[in-house]
Structure 1
């Protein structure tokens, strides 16, 4: 099976913006991969003038929030690295049973890569950025800089949402038939890596070959 990769535009964010940005992107992708009847829920972002749609499933929301917390923990441990989240969809295939287990295999058919470049010290930057601008009012300069950066991020986030819509509308042939499984989405998983993790590519390749007992909302 051929796996289709979608790489979304890299976003420059500050630490306090991570949750909203990732929720918006991950839920948007999952909404477009929703199965059957869902209860769409409009969500207005607090930091940006953007509204996105969730599937309205508590388990999906919980899983995404857990992964976002793991992502934030990784950012705090590796502040100088670009960090990436990969949302992968797969099919579950039964492999030949043995005496000890009935193994299943994950066949990946789509992967979404989300890259965030998180500012290292946003608070210090905001408070000290005016020292080299003696002519301009410090408070006004810092405020203008923050507003300009926030406007640029909002524009970029909108571009990412349009990217998602464009991708799902243009590429459909690789999407498998609807599985006879419970859940609001195709089986999926969310993995996290840093840009310097040289083993990440090989890890993902090995994961495509590995066996296990996946759950739908893993």
Structure 2
């Protein structure tokens, strides 16, 4: 396994009408490609792009909670930019002089950078939606390419526990203006 944590960036320019749907679809797609437990698949249709998703109540609630937190922070703040980070970790034994326990060590991070813009005319909206659909398709290609590449496969630690939807802990973090949003 590599000693550096791979970071995969996905850059999105969103509008108010589709922002939540796009963010949900992208988060679900990342999780679909990186959860190694028993995953029941489903799909999202966003701007005529079919994206894979995880059909799991807890996962859906977590994704919805983080997308809503991102949206509230963007709506309530001055900045119309932020990120949603998905960090996958493994539990390793932590040994020190007096303590024995576990620590979570990241093995991969996905950073979804999002900026909200609003097209003003119908022509701008059509171009905006076409560009966003192309960006989503490119993002899916990035996910597939990375997860099936030698680097993407080498980043995944050995799976020693096969229970639940993911054998590894993962965390979704929302940041706006460089500060973490609860």
Partners of 2:12 and 2:44 in 1: CA distance:
20
Q: Which residue does the alignment assign to 1:192?
A: 174
Superposition CA RMSD, Å = 2.4
Is contact 2:37-2:164 (8 Å) kept? Answer: no
Structure 1 residue 183: Cα displacement: 2.2
Q: State yes or no: 1:16 paired with 2:23.
A: no
Partners of 1:64 and 1:193 in 2: CA distance:
14
Structure 1 residues 77 and 53, CA gap change in structure 2 (3 angstroms): same
Structure 1 residues 81 and 52, CA gap change in structure 2 (3 angstroms): closer
TM-score (norm: length of structure 1): 0.72
Q: The residue matched to 2:154 in structure 1 has which SS?
A: coil
Partners of 1:79 and 1:151 in 2: CA distance:
27
Counterparts in 2 of 1:79-118, with a 5 A limit? 79-96=78-95, 103-118=101-116
Partners of 1:79 and 1:161 in 2: CA distance:
30
Structure 1 residue 189: Cα displacement: 0.2
1:157-187 alpha-carbon deviations (Å, 9 max, x no partner)? 1111111111111121121011415321231
Q: Which residue does the alignment assign to 1:145?
A: 124
Partners of 1:91 and 1:148 in 2: CA distance:
42
TM-score (norm: length of structure 2): 0.85
Partners of 2:42 and 2:97 in 1: CA distance:
44
**How many residues align structurally?**
175
Q: Which residue does the alignment assign to 2:42?
A: 41
Is contact 2:37-2:162 (8 Å) kept? Answer: no
Higher deviation after alignment, 156-165 or 180-189: 180-189
Is contact 1:3-1:110 (8 Å) kept? Answer: yes
Q: Which residue does the alignment assign to 2:5?
A: 3
